[in-house]
Structures are given as structure tokens and as C-alpha cells.
Amino acid sequence: MSVPAPFRAALGGQLHNGVVLFCSHQHSCLEGFDWARMDEIGDRMDKFDLFSEDQDDLATTIFGESVQLICDGEGRITLPVELMEAVHIAERAMFVGLGRKFQIWSPEMFERRRLKARDNVIDRKLTVPGAPQGRKGGEDGA
């Protein structure tokens, strides 16, 4: 599967580390992000007691089930068969960017998810939170 050019561009210097994938804990898809985000998750896991059951369960699920995939010269990755089977991806897959992470779906499963997400946004009247304090508008404060 080809990693979309905008995501490869965002990886920049991280591209040599590839991407990290694991089965989503919420949906029938794969979750993915760059290696720097995996380091950040590791740092956040340090907030748990090292030997707690919660820490062990999360670490096993996230780190124990994740795979690091290196992009080839054309920006492609090869999805492991066991991950594809776990989320019902057969011949076609969709790469869906979600800000700092992405998901990989079977097209049919994603269409159902997309419609459900839209219904949730409408039903719960969800909006994007305001800008952090001290920032107005874009990056330049405009």
C-alpha cells in the first residue's frame, strides 16, 4: 500500500523509521502513526505504576501488538497478512488521515464508520475545540 505523499512529507526526517501499525481498540481498522508518536506513547505510559495491571494491559496491547513498517523508495509499505485479516482487509484498503494519526480500513467498513461518525457529530452537536490560550487564528496569530 502506498503511504500518501502528504503523510510522507509530514514524516520528513522520520521517514527512515517508517510507520507503526496496530489493530484499533475501537474500530475494525488499523491505527498508525510515526515512530516519534510511539515514543510519546511510551512516555505517557510512564504515568502508570510500572507493575500495575492497567500498565501491563495497555503496554501489551499497544506495544506487543504493533509492527513497525519501513517505507520502500516509492513510499509503499507491505501490510502483514495477520493484520489485514484481523480488520477484514482483502484486496483493497483505504488510508484515512486523522491529524497526527491515520487509519487503514477496508473501503466498505470505512463507509459505515464515516456515516456513523457523521451521525454522531450531528446528534451530539460536536465542534472543534477553540484555539489554545494566547493563540488566535492561524500560526501567525492572524
Whether residue 135 is contained in a domain is answered as: no
Helices (H), 1-142: 5-11, 35-45, 53-62, 81-86, 107-124
The cell for 28 is 475494525
pLDDT in tens, 79-123: 999 999 999 999 899 999 888 789 999 999 999 999 999 999 999
Is there a domain that residue 84 lies in? Answer: yes
Assess whether pLDDT exceeds 50 at residue 140.
no
How many domains does the chain divide into? 1
Q: What is the pLDDT of residue 137?
A: 55
Asked if the structure places residue 142 within a domain, the reply is: no
Residue 138 inside a domain? The answer is no
Is residue 88 assigned to a domain?
yes
Q: Which domain holds residue 113?
A: 5-124
CATH number of the domain residue 84 falls in: 3.40.1550.20
Residue 13, pLDDT above cutoff 70: no
Tell me the pLDDT tens digit for each residue of 50-76.
889 999 998 898 888 899 998 887 878
Residue 21 domain-assigned? yes
